[in-house]
A and B are shown apart, each in its own frame.
Chain A
Amino acid sequence: MATVATPMKKLLNDPAEVVRESLAGLAAAHGDLVRYDAEAQILVRAATADKVGLVSGGGSGHEPMHGGFVGIGMLDAACPGEVFTSPVPEQMLAATKAVDAGKGVVHIVKNYTGDVMNFKLAAEDALDEGIDVESVLIDDDVAVQDSLYTAGRRGVGATVLAEKIAGAAAERGDDLAAVAGLARRVNEKARSYGVALSSCIPPAAGAPIFDLPEGEMEVGIGIHGEPGRERRPLGSAAEIAELMIEAVVSDLEPADGAAVLPFVNGMGGTPQLELYLLYGEIDRRLRERGLRPERRLVGSYITSLEMAGASLTLLELDDELTTLWDAPVHTPALRWGA
């Protein structure tokens, strides 16, 4: 695809083994929090808990999602697929069985055709084994407009917020329906929009997925390196902030004066320096619109390998969501209060 050959410089041994070797490294770094089951190809919380289980999964290449969110107050297990490829039902079934404490298991599924199909097959298998599974579909990406003629809106940034909030609900002892209900509420109250400044290079392909010339940006991108809705001249941070806010606010239609949580997410190749700059623009503009940013998250949490760019997820808060957001969390990638 690329008209200019970009040499691939990556820290790899064998591109075919990148996911397994990275998972082993994650477990080596955070053995107090997560355990890597290499045979089942899943990451499981080290300390088991007597509560509703929370499982998510998806293609790799979005780190720290999902493996980095396994731990106390968030996910109980993560099923990583190959890079940008959904995991398979056997992994999801193994994860579901590993975390089931008899109180049922919630599957958090991003709305991508592959993830949805594989989780559907896994949920049927789990049911056959006597485990109650509630599947929650995350589809917060407003860039996909016409649902009738697409696979529907993609699941992006709201996934991180749903995993945190549902994880806190499970940790405090909520039952299966309540935990799933809270994850769904997060999805209903959150919208996202992303912009890419460069493509990414999947290790197996060894070349950029698309070619983005100097001075241009892709707007309305997803998280798999797929091109966005359209290409535009590269804007300033202020212009990009306005574009993102307009896209999410006009779709979410939050109440006047609503408390909100803006989540400014880096796509993997954009430094924190720029993310905070973007956050400053977004925070100010939200206040000008009469919204109150009462909580926030700024950092690269749901990425697309080394893609440069950012996404904004806006969550309209209520008291319960705020309380659950503030609850202690201790995972490799997210930690406070614990």
Chain B
Amino acid sequence: MRTTTIHAWMTTIAESVKAQRDYLTQLDAAIGDGDHGVNMDRGFDAVGKALAAQDGAVPPGKLLTLAGKTLVSTVGGASGPLWGTAFRRAGRTLGDADEFDGHDLLAALRAALEGVVELGAAQPGDKTMVDALGPAIDSLAGSLDAGEPLDRALAAATAAAEEGARATVPLQARKGRASYLGERSIGHQDPGATSAALIMAALQRAVERES
């Protein structure tokens, strides 16, 4: 995987966030304030523009860092700093290398999750993006350890993220604006976990397209 993989990943995220914009907003309206889709769409639109202005020689890690900075400065809310930190940490982990393999990707995703947990202090089960990212990373680690090829490993990781997002439905939110609802947050899927699953699915498709 190389610079083009990151371009493909970000383009795919932008497309699916745009396609799911109203769905994400609807999920957020139920337990938040109904702007998650709009904010994510604005952010990844800006990421697309920022990345398009880069020449092809920029290494993958630097592109991820740029994506993260762009998200921090355009999304706002909690999603901006959280996803911004996630991509910046992932970018820093990949460093200046021109190429990266599955294990590098796993390390980058782990760093991203650590950044999110550091900033947001969310634990598994708090009904947040951590509930989709955590299982995805665990699944990816397990598959790679078992010697699975990367495309199959990413397919399993995406399924784990989607399952994790669905599993937020019966949970009571303990972080973010949804937590103010107390028990009334139960019965709704977390919008942050849902967009985390979208981002994992986009990664899988980007890698699939490359190979």
Contacts and interface: CB of A to CB of B under 8 A. Distances in A.
Contacts of B119: 117, 120
B156 to A, nearest CB: 31
Nearest to A119: B81
A230 B182 CA distance: 10
B180 A118 contact: no
A48 interface: no
Contact of B34 (A151, A209, A230): A209
Nearest to B71: A88
Contacts of A255: none
Contact of B76 (A87, A144, A222): A87
B16 to A, nearest CB: 20
Contact of A205 (B34, B72, B78, B80): B34
B77 interface: yes
Given A112-B177, A113-B175, A150-B174, A226 B78 contact: no
B73 A89 contact: yes
Chain A interface size range? 35 or more
A119 B182 CA distance: 26
Interface stretch (A5-13, A76-84, A178-186, A324-332): A76-84
Interface string B173-192: 01111011110100000000
Nearest to A202: B34
Contacts, number: 108
Contacts of A83: 35
B172 to A, nearest CB: 7
Contact of B78 (A113, A146, A210, A227): A113
B39 interface: yes
Interface string B96-131: 000000000000000000000001100000000000
A144 B180 contact: yes
A233 B45 CA distance: 44
Interface in A242-281: none
B76 A86 contact: yes
A302 to B, nearest CB: 16
Given A82-B39, A151-B179, A209 B81 contact: no
Contact of A81 (B26, B29, B34, B76): B76
A202 B35 contact: yes
A322 interface: no
21 contacts: A59-B76, A59-B77, A84-B33, A85-B76, A86-B78, A88-B75, A114-B76, A117-B81, A117-B119, A118-B80, A118-B81, A120-B81, A144-B180, A149-B172, A150-B182, A151-B180, A154-B180, A202-B34, A205-B34, A226-B181, A229-B180
Rank and list the top 3 A-B pairs by shortest CB-CB distance, nearest first.
Answer: A150-B179, A117-B81, A114-B77
Interface of A: 1, 59, 81-90, 112-114, 117-118, 120-121, 143-144, 146, 149-151, 154, 202, 204-205, 209-210, 222, 224-227, 229-230
Given A59-B77, A112-B177, A114-B76, 6 more contacts: A150-B180, A151-B179, A154-B180, A209-B29, A222-B180, A227-B181
